[in-house]
Amino acid sequence: MALDEAILEAVTHQTQSPTLRLYAWSPYCLSLGHAQPIEDVNLNTLSTCGWDLVRRPTGGRAILHADELTYSVCAPLNNAHVQGGVIESYRMIADALLNALEKIGIQADSKPKDQQQKHRSEDPVCFQFPSDYEITFAGKKIIGSAQARRSGALLQHGSIPLFGDISRIISCLKFETPANEERAKVNLLSKAATIKDVAGQRVSWKEVALAMIEAFEERFLIDLVQHAVSDEELSRAKQLAADKYNHSDWTYRI
């Protein structure tokens, strides 16, 4: 999260080009949305499992970053590929995500969420319900994304679960009764899926990453240039990690 924010700052200051970053997590980590209360989290389970905890700079609800590919996009708001409001930029990035899924054999869908779902945002699990222009397959959410804007630039990052038990997150969250917890697990499994679930076979992180690169190039008519994190970005990320993302004043602030 600190590196995503460091890249966003560099893009904002025009010391870095618009950036697509692809990464994974070790160890697994539960991330909370920017305004999500810490009371949603079962800290005992996290400790027992050896999973980390972080608060994202973007909104949305909790995600367990486990066997997944995570993407982030940082770009100035005047960039032609993300121009417009939040929903419009979501739609344009969703087009690239759909293209990437097509390349690994998945014909997914992206559309505005229906009005019946708009009041369900209090649920603590991000993958429980799709937001506008998030990616679904046969009605099940397979990519969860969130966006933040500041100083003329945007950061959008998202989770693409590749395989594994997507309902593991339920044990990391608090519910009033065991029955409520079980209902949440059943509901999540009916509303979300991994790439393996929908593809019928395991697709590697590298395969999905290559599909993402090709898809963004095709969708936006650009040539992506692979490069390492700059020394300035890495230094700033370390500072942000120490002062913010690893600090209880940020993680436990709500």
pLDDT confidence of residue 116 = 41
pLDDT confidence of residue 124 = 57
Cα 218 to Cα 77: distance, rounded to the nearest angstrom = 20
Is the pTM of the predicted complex or chain greater than 0.75? yes
Catalytic residue chosen out of the listed positions 29, 49, 74, 126: 126
Angle among Cα 56, 190, 57 to the nearest 5 degrees reads: 5
Helix (H, G, I), strand (E, B), or coil: what is residue 118? coil
Residues 24-36 pLDDT 10s: 999 999 999 999 9
Query: 129-134 contacts: CB < 8 A, separation 24 or more?
Result: 129/191, 131/60, 131/90, 132/87, 132/90, 132/91, 133/87, 133/90, 133/91, 133/94, 134/90, 134/94, 134/110
How are beta strands 63-65 and 140-150 bridged, if at all? unpaired
Read off the tokens for 155: 């950061």
Q: Which residues contact 227 (CB under 8 A, 6 or more apart)?
A: none
For the question of residue 49 being annotated catalytic, the response is no
pLDDT confidence of residue 109 = 86
The residue behind tokens 């630039």 is 153
Residues 83-92 pLDDT 10s: 888 889 999 9
Positions of the chain with pLDDT lower than 70, given as ranges? 113-133
Q: Enumerate the domain spans of the chain.
A: 2-224
pLDDT confidence of residue 84 = 87
Q: Which CATH class is domain 2-224?
A: alpha beta
